[in-house]
Amino acid sequence: MSIETVDLTHVYMPGTERAVVAVDRVSLRIDDGETVGIMGPTGSGKSTLIQHFNGLLRPTSGRVLVDGEDLWPREKEGPRTTDLHKVRRKVGLIFQFPEHQLFEESVYDDVAFGPRNLGLSEEEVRRRVTVALRMVGVPEDEAEALGRRSPFSLSGGQMRRVAIAGVLAMRPATLVLDEPTAGLDPRGRLELLETLSRLHRRWGLTLVVVSHNMEDLAALVDRVIILDQGRLILDGPTREVFRDPESLRRLGLDAPPVVALMHALAARGAQVDVSRLSPREAAEEIDQWIRAGRPRRAGSGREGDAGLVHV
């Protein structure tokens, strides 16, 4: 499954004095099985961009193709053939604070909302709800009891899982998440990151994650896209993008703490690889460097910068 945008532009309230260009000629391609992070300062058009991925927003100009199929074929090319419902089944979109969309009396019914809209048999709905809950880390023997509870009686982290399960029950091949960890406590955040990464590894979902949190992205995605003022300004492997914290800072973004630490070490003359992303990787790198013998001390910051190691 692939998502492709070609010169995608979205203007809010076009033709008025309050017109805003939220997305400006963005072309990108996300392939099956990828994990992609989208980041950028507030107002850079991230949320607007992802709402095009499943046809919730119509581009002002440009194209959106899902599996090579144009979501908004131009009228002169014949009548509209793309079924947006089908596209929305393939690309599951999870908004910021998805727990705010819960509405049913029980967790079971809420997760079942999507499958029931698909007109599936109650047996198939039950199967899907159980699987979806398992996918977000609810063991099968607890699913029954949880399913009976009111979604409003759950903790913040649990509510979010249930809301995500509600989208997973649609069996999407791609999951697009907007700030999935916003507002969670550290434990809830770690559990959710683990869940998301399992969705990719074990269930083979393509992940697109919008986030301000560099640590989350470092932990989840292999590729990062940076937007600024609606324009795509950088698209590359996560390691490459985080290698240059200075340019991130200019955009009001920051490298994850681990990367910042590696850079600080390198700036003081340490012979370390600055492209380590996770604490574990960094620990291994530092361990190796210490074992390799006493570090060379740098005289000043400037000289230290010269000692920056690129691998």
Partner 1 sequence: MFRDITIGQYLSGSSVVHRLDPRTKITIVGVFMVVLFAATNAAAYATLTAFTVLAVHLARVPARMLLRGLRPVLILLVLTFTLQLFLTPGRTMFTLGPLVASWEGLRMGLFMVARLLLLLVMASLLTLTTSPVSLTDGLESILAPFRLVGLPAHELAMMMTIALRFIPTLMEEADKIMKAQMARGADFESRSLSRRIRSLVPLLVPLFVSAFRRADELATAMEARCYRGGRHRTRLNRLRATALDAAAAALTGFMAAVVIGLRWWPG
- The minimum distance between CB 198 and partner 1, in angstroms, equals 22
Q: Which is nearer to partner 1, 39 or 159 (CB)?
A: 159
- The minimum distance between CB 246 and partner 1, in angstroms, equals 35
- The minimum distance between CB 260 and partner 1, in angstroms, equals 34
Binding-residue pattern over the window 139 to 158 for partner 1, x denoting contact by CB under 8 A: -------------x------
Q: Which amino acid, one-letter code, is at 15? A: G
Exposed, middle or buried, 289 (CB in 10 Å: 0-12/13-18/19+)?
A: middle
- The minimum distance between CB 59 and partner 1, in angstroms, equals 16
88 binds partner 1 (CB under 8 A): yes
Q: Select from 101, 150, 155, 278 the one that contacts partner 1 (CB under 8 A).
A: 101
- The minimum distance between CB 54 and partner 1, in angstroms, equals 6
Q: Which is nearer to partner 1, 206 or 275 (CB)?
A: 206
Q: Select from 56, 182, 190, 309 the one that contacts partner 1 (CB under 8 A).
A: 56
103 binds partner 1 (CB under 8 A): yes
Beta bridge partner(s), residue 179:
none
61 binds partner 1 (CB under 8 A): no
Q: Which is nearer to partner 1, 49 or 272 (CB)?
A: 49
166 binds partner 1 (CB under 8 A): yes
Q: How far apart are CA 246 and CA 47, in angstroms?
A: 25
Q: Select from 118, 131, 261, 309 the one that contacts partner 1 (CB under 8 A).
A: 118
- The minimum distance between CB 209 and partner 1, in angstroms, equals 16
Q: How far apart are CA 262 and CA 281, in angstroms?
A: 11
Under DSSP, the state recorded for 153 is G
Residues lying near partner 1 in the complex (CB under 8 A):
12-13, 51, 54, 56, 85, 88-89, 92-95, 98, 100-103, 113-114, 117-118, 152, 166-167, 170
